[in-house]
Structures are given as structure tokens and as C-alpha cells.
Chains A and B, each alone.
Chain A
Amino acid sequence: MSELIQDTANRITKFISENYSNADTAPGSVISELVVKLAASVQNEQYNTIATLSQSSAISQALASTTDTYSPIVDLIASNYNTERNKGTYSTGNIQVYVSYFGNYAVPNTLSFIQPTLGLTYNVTELFRISPTPNTALGELQLYTEGEKYYFILPVVATEVGYNSQVSSGTTFSLTETGATITNFVSAQAYGNFTSALPEQTDKQLISRFKNTLGSTRFESPAGIQNRLSNIYPTFQTLSVCGANNIEMTRSKNNAMGISTFGMADVYVRNCVGAETYSATVVGKKTADKTWVLNLDNSYCAGFYRVFSIIPDSAQLTGGTFPITDVTYGYRTFESGINNVINSYRDARFTKYQTAKVTFTYDESPTLPIGTTANFVVSTYYQPHIGDIQDLVTSSAERLACADYLVKAALPCFVVLDLTLAKANPNDNYTSLNINQLKQDLFTYINTIPFGETVHASKIVTICHNYNISRVELPINMTGNILCNDGTSLTIKGNDYLEIPTNIPLGVSPKTTQFFINYYDTSVGGTNVVDNIGVTLI
């Protein structure tokens, strides 16, 4: 039980009066001002720290709190378990900046971009020089040519920690009105999905973490795997383990009898809030007129979801993102080390064994002969650490010798919401109702739904009513697009709820699939952008 500083002073005054009855402790006396009050200010802090350090009160208060709390006392308790509060991480990403002039540019580190609809701001972290013929040894960036347009790609970092700052590829940006500018600036957009970020850990999350450190971190149980991955990867979200008795486990039944042989488990993980972007240079080959092919080997990007961008990476070739005409998925095991049992490309989809052959259209100029090879920057959506986690569970020091754990990125179900909100005040608008924040709240809700649960319209309505609206028009249109293990996609719709179906041949079930939502969908191409969290005010 903590006490006020006056309570402490009264306690000290009483002690002095009882033990030194001739000491004057009246206000203004030297004993009061230089002894009692000074002692009280020191003792009060210590007294209250000790009182609150009583673990039962600090932890139970934090767990019972209906709001997020960030008590320094819980930090002190956590330190006893060698655990520190995660102060949050910033989302990072690249912004593609279009300019109207072909030449050299200098971008100051004071430059900021803002996503005007969401109100999110991102800063350039250092000074960059951009040139058509960059000196890469000095860190200069390339100015690319795309038809009659020119662009360069700037790394940026969000100004605030938290899930909300992760925007998807193609999200448009403006330069902030008060910050530095870029000469000949035309437009800017996200180049690839930004990385997942984390909010500051709440007391409840911190308590859960240091309790986890006391639990098992071995791989013999889902809880142990969860604990282990939580401790290693800060952005780790959740996992689902499908073993011998789960219908989702088909790898173990690939025998003449079709009977599970036990010992195998598929571990579906979610390491990030939203899908992130991976880019690397890959050699492409011209196979026919305007047709090029890329082979993405298993070393390209473990468990990637899908390729979304291919752009030339050489001074001789120009052009923007090329249309992909076909993707054929395959797999390849590794020559050294322990491999999992993989029977087909479907088993390998979203794992570190996955490969892909990508065919795309490129009408290069001047026309090159068939058989020509060239470098292309290939960008994909993916979850980080899939390969690392697979290596961890199959490493000699960690693996369960009798088990075959195959780590997979959870199948993504990309959600689109269409909301109509009735205004409580006819003068309200998008800004006054703070719809930016509402979208960020919905983004966090959808992206943090655990395995096995559904998107509930009632929960969305509840979130909407945190804002000053009259009502949410029903029905709410919810659509999900699931990437399946055969390269196809499955669309689901709902008004009251959005539930992951069970389709074992396609690898889809509530135990294998996670909901993802991006603010925008730019995959439609061109200048078209679909608002994935559409909000209409009436």
C-alpha cells in the first residue's frame, strides 16, 4: 500500500516527537524543512517502491486492468527474470520517388513523407545522393528510367512505434508540408510492403513473457516452441502445430496405405503483423519474343508468398514492373544438413524448400536475341525468419531425433472490409471523426486474430463505436482471399463473420491459415488502388 509524501512526513514527525520531545517540528522550523521533509522525499519513494514491489499487487493489478498499463514496477519484477520490456520497433520500408528530371539529386536526412489518408509519417534516416551513374561504393542510389519517367528508391522509417505503421506496396505518399523537399518531385509510393513493427509491450505482455521464460522452451510441445520463438524473434506473433492426428497433416500419409506414420508435424508460424517485402537480384532469360523466365531457387527467399514486382537491374535495360503471366512452384532439398520429408511442391509451398519458375512479359528495347540473360530485381511478399526457424528446429543441437518438424509460413487470407458508418453529427467528416485512427485500429484487430478464430462483424462494430458515430450500417461486407498451397487462391465472403474454410487438398484450414489485411491493394495495377478498409460516411 503506497503512501503520500505527507503521510511519510507525518510518520517521521511522529517518530521525532516521540523520541526527541524537545525538538520543534512546526512548519518553517529547521528540523521540519531540512530534516523531516528531505527525509520524507527520500523515504517516500523507497517506501512506495517496496510497497508496489509486492509482486502479488503489481502483477494482479496489471492483469486486472481493463486498459493497457506500463508500470515501471513490472519492469523491475521482470528484470528478476532477466527479461526486459520491448520498447517497440519502428516499421521500415522503401519509398519509390518519381521525379521529372533525369539528373543528380541530393536528399537531406530531414526529408519526411506522409501518408495523407492514414496520417502516418516516415523519415529518411540519412543523406542520400542519387545519380543515373551512381558510385555504389559511396552509397549513392540509382536513378532508374521507366518509360518517360524517372525514379529512385529511398529507405525510410516510421516516426512512431506500433503495428499501425506497416503499409503495403503501392501506398501513396506526399512530402510533408513543413519538411525538406525534393526538386522536380512528381509522386511517391511504397516500394514493397513495409516491415512489421511492434508497439511497446504492455504490462500484460511483459508478464506473459517472463512467465514464459520459466516454462519449457524445447520443441516437444506447441507451448515450448511458442516460448522459444517468442524469446528469439521479437516480431513473432503465433503458431499452429498440425501433427499426426490432425487432418491437415498429409505429409505423413504419403504411403501405400495412406496411414499416418507419426513423427511428423507441420508448424505454421506468423512472424510479422503484415506480410513483408523481400527483394533480390535474379538472373532472367529470354525464352521467346517478349517472354522472359526467372528461376527462384530455394536460396532466394524461404517460404515467400508471391512475387509482386520484377524490374530490370542493369543500365542497358529499362522499364517498370512487368506483368507476370505464369508462376510454377516446385521444391528442392538442400545438399547438406538435415532435410524434412517433402513429397510434392504442395508440401514445400511456404517453406524454405520452395522454388518457383516465373514467366513474365518484357518488351525490351532494343530487342535482344532469345537466350539473352539479364539481371532483374524480384520482389516478393513474405514472412521473415521462416528459413531460420526451420534451421533451428532441425539443427543437431535442438532437434527431436524422432520428429520431423516442417516450418511453414501460415497461409495468408488477405481481407477486404467495406464499411458504411452513419454520422452522429451531420457536420462530421473523415477528419473530425478520426477515421485514420479507426482504420489503424481495424488493421491491428484483423492482423492479430489467433489461429482458429474468425473475423467477427460484431467486433468491428464495437471498434467503430469507439468513435463518435451514430451506427454501423449492416451488413458489413467482408471478403477474404486465401493463397493456397497449389498456387491458386480461394475467395471467402461473409457479413456476420469471416471464417476460414477447411479444404485439405489446398492446405487450407483454420489451423493453417491466418488473416492479413493491408491498408491498400495495388495489385490491380496502374494507378488503381483498392482501399482494403473502405469506409463510407453517410
Chain B
Amino acid sequence: MAISGISTSYSGRTVDVSILRTPNPKAITPTAVAPVFGNPSQLCAGTQKLVQRYTIILLSNTNSQPGYPDFGTAFLKTLNQGLSPVDAIGARQIFSLADYNAVNVIQRYQITNPTIPLDEQLESTELLDLTLYAGSISFSVKLTTLAGDAANFLLPLPI
């Protein structure tokens, strides 16, 4: 199951524009997340919104936003510099460093904004697995909220 605890009422919540469309709350197995534009407008809230924020921060390269040089991580940039198809340890290290920064950004915001619903507050993330191919890599990530909900999703990326 991609997201646990999907029976919450989201009325009155702050919403974000959904550009990932995923993870599908009803999917049985983890689904890949990737930005998509051009589909009919959707909004998201709750865990799905948190996953989207986490993904955006993780996949934004530092120095890519004018005026905000520290926003994002070096995750994609480092992966794009090349990785051996058998270097799973290296891939885990790259993920861990970037994940630490992304989680920090979200948790710092949570501290200064304590009224955010618990299922939109990040408790932790965990790299469940990774699969290396020639030219690509797929990270399987588990995200847990302070409400106890968990979402598993895949991050397929080129290297």
C-alpha cells in the first residue's frame, strides 16, 4: 500500500497544486513520483502534499533558484556526475546527505509553524531499497508523518 491512513477528512486544510499526481493513495505497490504538467488541475493535502514538498526539495539543485542559493540539495547534480552501476554504497551515501538536508528544511519549518496538522508534519524518511541500472537508478523511499501515516514511493532518476 502506497499511503496508509487515507480515511482522513481534508476539508479546511491548506492545499497545494498537485504536480506529482502520485503516490496514488490506493495503489497496492509503491508508485514512481515524477513532476507532470498539463493534466487537469488537481490539489493535494495531507501526506500526499508532504511527499510532494519533500520530493521538490530533494530534487531541486542548490543554486538553481535566483536569490535562494541554499534551497534544495546536491542530490541530482551529484548523481548526474556519474555513478558506477555497482556502486550501491555510493548511491546510499548520496541519498543520505541530500535526504538529511531536505528533512531539515521541512522540520525547521514545522518548528516555527506548530499548527500544521500532524499528518502533514514529517517524522522521518527511510531508504528502503535502491536498484541500479546502466544509466538510471531507482530509490524506494518510506516517509512517515507525525500522525503515524506512512507513504512508500519510488524515485527513478537518470545517472
Contact = CB atoms under 8 A, between A and B. Distances in A.
Contacts of A40: 67
A419 B71 CA distance: 57
A28 B53 CA distance: 4
A418 interface: no
Interface stretch (B8-16, B124-132, B135-143, B151-159): B8-16
A24 B16 CA distance: 5
A58 interface: no
Contacts of B106: 26-28
A23 interface: yes
A41 B65 CA distance: 9
A28 B14 contact: no
B56 interface: yes
B145 to A, nearest CB: 14
Contact of B67 (A23, A27, A37): A37
B98 interface: no
B88 to A, nearest CB: 27
Contact of A30 (B19, B67, B102): B19
Interface string A28-51: 111101100100110010000000
B67 A31 contact: no
B66 interface: yes
Nearest to B12: A22
B68 to A, nearest CB: 6
B54 interface: yes
Contacts of B45: 24
B14 A23 contact: yes
A26 B109 contact: yes
Contacts of B21: none
B113 interface: yes
Interface residues of A, number: 19
Contact of B68 (A24, A29, A31, A37): A37
Given A5-B67, A41-B66, A23 B56 contact: no
Interface in A8-36: 9, 21-24, 26-31, 33-34
A44 B67 contact: yes
The CB with the most chain A CB atoms within 10 A, among B19, B49, B67, B113, is that of B67
B115 to A, nearest CB: 12
A34 B71 CA distance: 13
A6 B70 CA distance: 13
A34 B18 CA distance: 12
Contacts of A21: 14
Interface string B1-33: 000000000001111111100000000000000
Given A26-B113, A27-B105, A33 B14 contact: no
B128 to A, nearest CB: 21
Interface residues of B, number: 27
A31 B53 CA distance: 10
B62 interface: no
Contacts of B14: 21-24
B96 interface: no
B144 interface: no
Contacts of A5: 66-68
Given A5-B67, A24-B15, A28-B53, A33 B109 contact: no
Given A24-B49, A44-B67, A30 B15 contact: no
B47 interface: no
A9 to B, nearest CB: 8
Nearest to A35: B17
A31 B17 contact: yes
Interface string B58-74: 00100001111001000
A44 B68 CA distance: 13
B57 interface: yes
Contacts of B53: 26-29
B56 A30 contact: yes
A308 B17 CA distance: 81
Contacts of A22: 12-15
Contacts of B57: 27-28
B54 A30 contact: no
A6 B68 CA distance: 9
Contacts of B109: 26-27
A29 B67 contact: no
Given A24-B14, A24-B15, A24-B16, A33 B67 contact: no
- 3 closest pairs, A vs B, by CB? A28-B53, A5-B67, A24-B14
Interface of A: 5-6, 9, 21-24, 26-31, 33-34, 37, 40-41, 44
22 contacts: A5-B67, A5-B68, A21-B14, A22-B13, A24-B14, A24-B15, A27-B53, A27-B71, A27-B109, A28-B52, A28-B53, A28-B102, A29-B52, A29-B53, A31-B17, A33-B65, A34-B17, A37-B65, A37-B67, A37-B68, A37-B71, A44-B67
Interface of B: 12-19, 45, 49, 52-54, 56-57, 60, 65-68, 71, 102, 105-106, 109, 113, 116
Given A5-B67, A28-B102, A37-B68, 17 more contacts: A5-B66, A5-B68, A21-B14, A22-B13, A22-B14, A22-B15, A24-B45, A26-B53, A26-B116, A27-B57, A27-B71, A29-B49, A29-B52, A30-B18, A33-B65, A34-B17, A41-B66
